[in-house]
Amino acid sequence: MSELNNIALKILQKGKGILAADESTGTMTKRLDSVNVQSTPENRLLFREILFSASCMTECIGGVILYDETIKQQTSKKNLIPELILNMGSAPGIKVDTGAKILAGSPEEKITEGLDGLRERLKEYYRIGAKFTKWRGVYNISKSYPSKLSIHSNAHALARYSALVQECNMVPIVEPEVLMDGDHSAKDCFSKTSEVIKKCFEELILHKVDLKGIILKPNMILAGNKCKDKISKEEVAKLTLECLKNSVPSEVPGIAFLSGGQSELEATENLNLINKINDTSFIMSFSYGRALQQSALKFWSKDTKNIEGTQKIFNHRAKMNTLAAQGKWSKDLEN
């Protein structure tokens, strides 16, 4: 087995998943503003350090995606953040794209940038301790979108990024996110997501990316947030599994879903139902941001010194998702 395949499997073994703590400073500021906490580098670090030193990190979290600011920060004990994460038995990762910008030729859509100078940045992150990376492509969905241009451009960027990451001995997380915003049906989401993922793998293969050494981070198949015609959670699981079976080559070791606007409970329940019917060789786990942190953040904002209470809430959410990643979660366990 390749070293990259080992890293990918270790991150997702035994129901472990990924904590997406890679919010940009702007996004983290919005999150902190929403709970009336001032967004300073110190406060951003304080909240993250509380999570990264929680006991669930050892049992439930196989990897943590960091932002450029965070990976270079020191903990209160003067260790670098990647050291803290490694000491908890988890792998430090890093978001390396520079954000989604307007796509020339289709101004309603986005293309993710960040390839310029990426090889040099990757070497630096690897030196600091990163074991894996993340790059997110975003796709609008409507009658006309995603366009062929958006599907091709984002797949090409994801493949170029992945090839550079593997060259630097890290595992790339490939994240093509078909957004939930809109009034599209689950059926539309299924067909567009299938098209997007297939194109990504075409490009990954063309760029000679070792598929055994990546993690796919897709959206689940859901109706748009403005669609009146919602489907059952069982149907979400069935369609999501069918989409991935038809679109993802069998060499890929693991799939870690994004929560993409689902509530904490929905993200856990849907993951559990997918795993109850998962008859593939893929590990199906989670790579959640808000769906792992939101309750902990709300609790922490009321008393930023209450570390134990904040960790207790985070530990619970992580444990629930680890059970869901094994198809062992039930609603009774939430109380």
The catalytic residues are 217
Could you give the 3-state DSSP secondary structure of residue 186?
helix
3-state DSSP: the chain helix, strand, coil percent, rounded to 5? 50, 15, 35
What HEC string does 33-89 produce? Answer: HHCCCCCCHHHHHHHHHHHHCCCHHHHCEEEEEECHHHHCCECCCCCEHHHHHHHCC
34: its two tokens: 């929403």
Please, what is the end-to-end C-alpha distance for the chain in angstroms? 41
Residue with the two structure tokens 């001032």: 38
Q: Which helix (H) or strand (E) holds 257?
A: strand 254-257
> For helices 290-302 and 25-34, what crossing angle results, to 10°?
50
